[in-house]
Amino acid sequence: LTGTSREQRAFQYVLTHAIPGDPHHILQTFDQWCYHCEHLSCVGPDKGRIVERVLLERAPLRVLELGTYCGYGTVLLAQGLPPGARLYTIEGDPRHAAVAEKVIRLAGFSEQTVELIVGPSEEVIPHLREKHGLMNANLVFMDHWKRCYLRDLQLLESHQLLAEGATILADNVLFPGAPHFLQYAKTCGKYHCKVHRSRLEY
């Protein structure tokens, strides 16, 4: 009826109620909207704690996020980066990317810290090195279409974009599920796998 998308409505709420330059408060404001107004498929606070723990343990200098959506996960990742680290995030939907760009900058992250790349992941990944300067990633956070998880992991492998000892953190592999990705990760012999149990967001 308003002619605006759920994502745009959520951003307007965040813009009105969140403290600019305060990533933690911006995430909390998103959570308030999602709990009490409209559901968005953001990472959410429960799974967010898993992401924060992995960031703390790994202290990655080069992070790649697949699936920016509204920028919730991007802000979550960016606020946990060690000094001098850089985050590259890929979003295939230009409308979502437009919202995410505003959210990321509202949180106080510059283009030097967070680079948002708009385009289908299968087209962007092969050009990350020459076009965007990402030699390899220490941490990859997958939160886009589940059917793309395996394809994109293998793309990252074939283009040698995974640093030695890199961590792949993939959301929702059990539900709605990414069975082919999970089977590959467990059986290909390249990875040590751990499943983090959690509730669905909100």
Active site residues: 143, 146, 171-172, 201
Assign 51 to helix, strand or coil: helix
Q: In angstroms, rounded to a whole number, what is the distance separating the alpha carbons of residues 33 and 35?
A: 6
Token pair 């059986």: residue: 187
What are the φ/ψ torsions at residue 112 (nearest 5 degrees)?
-70, -30
Q: Taking the CB of residue 23, how many other CB atoms lie within 10 A of it?
A: 22
CA-based torsion, 123, 73, 81, 20: positive or negative: positive
- Which of 60, 63, 103, 69 lies closest to 87, judged by CA? 63
Q: Are 64 and 88 in contact (CB under 8 A)?
A: yes
Q: What is residue 175's DSSP assignment? A: I
Q: Are 132 and 115 in contact (CB under 8 A)?
A: yes
